[in-house]
Amino acid sequence: MGKTLLDKVWDLHKVATLPSGQDQLFIGLHLVHEVTSPQAFQALVDRGLTVLFPQRTFATVDHIIPTDGQRRPFADELAEQMMRAIEKNARQHGILFFGNTDDQGIVHIIGPELGLTQPGMTIACGDSHTSTHGALGSLAFGVGTSQIRDILASQTLSLTRPKVRRIEVTGTLRPGVHAKDLIIRIIADLGVNGGIGYAYEYGGPAVAALPMEARLTMCNMSIEGGARAGYINPDSVTFEYLKGRRFVPAGKDYEKAVQFWKGMASDPDADYADTHTLDGSSLEPMVSWGINPGQAIGVSGKLPRVSEARPADQEALRKAYDHTGFTEGEPVQGLAVDVAFIGSCTNGRISDLREAARVVKGRKVSSRVKALVVPGSRAVLRQATEEGLPEIFRAAGFEWRDAGCSMCLAMNPDKLTGRQVCASSSNRNFIGRQGSPHGRTLLMSPAMAAAAAIAGEVVDARQMLPAGNGRS
Amino acid sequence: MAESTSVRKLITGRAIVVPGDDIDTDRIIPARYLRLITFEELGKYAFFDERFDDNGKPRKHPLNDPRFSGGSIMLVNRNFGCGSSREHAPQSLMRTGIQAFVGESFAEIFSGNCTALGLPAARVSHEDAVRLQSLVEADPALVISIDLESLTVSAGGRKVSFTMPDSDRKSLVAGTWDTTAMLLANREAIKAAAARIPYLNFGAASGGSRD
């Protein structure tokens, strides 16, 4: 039997077997952001320890940074204090900090963008969406603050090797169906806890055909299906994407790196714990209607009836209807929206903004909708500006913002209020996630969120694309 | 290290019933309280938006329920702690006095965070979870004990078995759940790994040799 990428990466990084039976794993890349790290740095100092591999540790700021002007000091005193803490910690421990530079952005956007993220690596960050980086064929996962402390101190973690589930997507995604739709559908099929104990390996023709940014979107939401890590085997798309990026070896070293990367992909006869197959051609754009990302349906569908659901899911559905106030059996198309948010580590990349702009161009945001576009990084912002995207969005009535996590989570000034319904390209529709305990989040692709902004309600974005031209 | 105080073999106390599947960490600790740079104050904010209405008035919630006051074992259901990796979630619950969880299943990062704080998370069947919850609902003064050596939860003369990852159990029982010192003890092996991992030695561009 051959080995999976996970097995190869694991074996390469294994330092020791610990008395608990867990493995001590070397972490090749440690990404740090402002929210989950200050307590870890403090713990390190309290114990008289230092950062063992500062050259493998990189920091940015994303969660708390305002997106409507980033001048210091921030209006929010707590945010300013948090920013100062990461500036001080990075300086004191010799860690490269992108927060005050042109490279600032959401940690899961800038890692791949700068070429820090590479195949065959182990990558950890105090953020559950670290699974994103698996798109380049790395083993990447979120950790808590105690584990951040462990990595800072030792560049290693105590971990249990997960099982690997192969998720095979056959066929071809139809025009206007995106990686976001695919991953939401997988979560809806396998459940929000279906991936506990697993890493998801995504493959098959529909995945192989995805460009890198779409792959990042897909792996990003692995954690929403309970899988701490998700990955795609590195291939020519990966190698081309990485070529020339700042932290990627150049020249002969690049060739050497490609050889290493190729060798880390799963063997054709690799052994998987189990396999889930789905026909990519059968998909349509997806919309979440409930309070977890698995409570989602195709855009032509109707909200489920509690009585028809599996008994084990009925309580969760009831809770979802209690919160959303939506009606069982009503079509998801036509649900009115108050806010549209395009951005986040899931969908804040240049290709996402292009897709949204294709829908928006020449149209106007509904008068009842507040709509905002938030680039995932300053590099995305610059690229979008070069392509004239801010003008397209602004002309339609969107607000065009600075880079940050923004309305994905309520740690900065961008928040829902009251009972607002938000068409959101982010990753979580949990109660209160977007800042109002009563707010409601409908997860969807950037194109779908753009279409909802214009229509003032959930619509099928494919109707707004030129005929026969729905595919990126 | 004070080994004796970190050993977790038997947790005994009254319980708090927090029913429901898929209770995510945004609900356990709303994101706005993550802007604090220490964990110290977080106990006040556990389940804040479920415990208080928009005017700050207490709502009906297990953590506001005087019957459960002083409880140290949280009885939960399926996929507890899903979503964000924020350690603030178990930190906030620990700071309200929670010392252990009993539930049907736990999200992986949450479960790891619990172990890293010395908080056992015991997995029981759906039937046993519901049964334990009803026992405590009927008699909130009931004392529950979680025995990590025999892998049983006892409540009111009933005993049910539970599971947890064996590595977690071993670390909790041995009192070695704070792993930093143990990991650092292998410093030489860490250096050896760094020397053999190819991408750490690709040259300056890979960030591998800045020092």
| pLDDT tens track for A129-140 | 999 999 999 999
Does the beta-carbon distance from B199 to A319 stay under 8 Å? no
Please provide the DSSP assignment of B67-103 as one string.
GGTT--EEE--TTBTBS---THHHHHHHTTT--EEEE
CATH of residue B11's domain is 3.20.19.10
Q: Tell whether A254 and A347 lie within a shared domain.
A: no
Per the structure, the count of domains in chain A is 2
Query: What's the pLDDT at A466?
Result: 77
Res. B114: pLDDT tops 60 = yes
Q: Is the pLDDT of residue B10 over 80?
A: yes
Q: Are residues A322 and A458 in the same domain?
A: yes
Whether residue B207 sits in one domain with residue B141:
no
Inter-chain residue contact B35 with A35, CB threshold 8 Å: yes
Judgement on whether residues B162 and B184 belong to the same structural domain of the protein: no
Sign of CA dihedral A103, A108, A109, A112: positive
Co-location of A387 and A254 in the same domain: no
A296 and A256, same domain (yes or no): no
**Closest-CA distance of chain A to residue B171, Å:** 6
pLDDT at B120: 98
Enclosing domain of residue B202: 179-211
Q: In the predicted model, is pLDDT for residue A200 greater than 60?
A: yes
Which band of pLDDT confidence, cut at 50, 70 and 90, is reported for residue B3? very low
Asked, as a colleague might, if the bond just before A73 is cis with ω within 30 of 0, I would say yes
Do A304 and A404 lie in one domain? The reply is: yes
Number of domains in chain B: 2
Please count the CA atoms within 13 angstroms of the CA of A293 that sit on its side-chain side. 33
CA distance, residue B198 to nearest chain A CA (Å): 8
Q: Are residues B18 and B121 in the same domain?
A: yes
A38 and B37 in contact by Cβ < 8 A? yes
Report chain B residues whose CB lies below 8 A from the CB of A16: 186, 189
Statement to judge: residues B40 and B100 lie in one domain: yes
Percent of the residues in chain A that have a pLDDT greater than 90, as a whole number: 97
pLDDT at B210 over 50: no
Please check whether residues B112 and B194 belong to one and the same domain.
Answer: no
pTM for the predicted model, two decimal places = 0.97
Q: Show residues of chain A in contact with B37, CB under 8 Å.
A: 38-39, 42, 81-82, 85
Q: Where are the alpha helices (DSSP H) in chain B?
A: 3-6, 25-28, 48-51, 88-94, 108-116, 126-138, 166-174, 180-184, 187-196
Sheet containing strand A156-159, strands side by side: A14-17, A23-26, A156-159
From B107, B186, B208, residue closest to A226, measured CB to CB: B107
Per-residue pLDDT reduced to its tens digit, A107-164: 999 999 999 999 999 999 999 999 999 999 999 999 999 999 999 999 999 999 999 9
The answer on A296 and A259 residing in a single domain is: no
What CATH number is associated with residue A444? 3.30.499.10
| Confidence band for B4, pLDDT divided at 50, 70 and 90 | low
Shared domain for B189 and B130, answered yes or no, is: no
A91 and A133 share a domain? yes
Same domain, A156 and A42: yes
Domain-terminating residue out of A275, A309, A324: A275
Tell if the CB–CB gap between A121 and B30 is shorter than 8 Å: no
CA A406 – CA A410 distance, rounded (Å): 8
pLDDT digits (tens, 9 = 90+) for B143-196: 999 999 999 999 989 999 999 999 999 999 999 999 999 999 999 999 999 999
Chain A contacts in chain B segment 154-193 (CB below 8 A): 165-168, 170-171, 174, 176, 178-180, 182-184, 186-187, 189-190, 192-193
Q: Domain containing A345: what range? A: 285-464
Please check whether residue B113 touches A, CB under 8 A.
yes
Mapped onto helix, strand or coil, the DSSP state of residue A8 is helix
Residues A267 and A190 in one domain: yes
Contacts of A150 (CB under 8 A, 6+ apart): A156, A157, A158, B179, B180, B183
Q: Which residues from B are below 8 Å from A18, CB to CB?
A: 167, 179, 182-183
Put simply, the answer to whether B84 touches A128 (Cβ < 8 Å) is yes
**Residues in A touching B207 (Cβ below 8 Å):** 55-56, 58, 116, 247
Residues B35, A55: C-beta atoms closer than 8 Å: no
What is the C-alpha separation between A405 and A110, in angstroms, rounded?
Answer: 12
CB A235 within 8 A of CB A266: no
Q: Identify the closest residue of chain A to B190 by CA–CA distance.
A: A15
SS3 for A63-95 is CCCCCCCCCCCCCCHHHHHHHHHHHHHHHHHCC
pLDDT in tens, A22-81: 999 999 999 999 999 999 999 999 999 999 999 999 999 999 999 999 999 999 999 999
Least confident window among A74-78, A463-467, B35-39, B52-56: A463-467
Does position A284 have pLDDT exceeding 90, yes or no? yes
- What is the structure's pLDDT at A129? 98
CB pairs under 8 A between A and B: 239
B195 close contact with A: CB closer than 8 A: no
Contact list in A for residue B197 (CB cut-off 8 A) is 12-13, 26, 28
Q: Is B24 on the interface with A (CB under 8 A)?
A: yes
Record: contact A28-B200, CB cut-off 8 A = yes
What's residue A317's pLDDT? 96
Mean pLDDT of all residues in chain B? 94
One domain for residues A305 and A264:
no
d(CA A19, CA A27): 20
Is the domain of B194 the same as that of B170? Answer: no
CA distance A182 to A195: 16
Q: In chain A, which residues have their Cβ closer than 8 Å to the Cβ of B79? A: 192-193, 196, 226
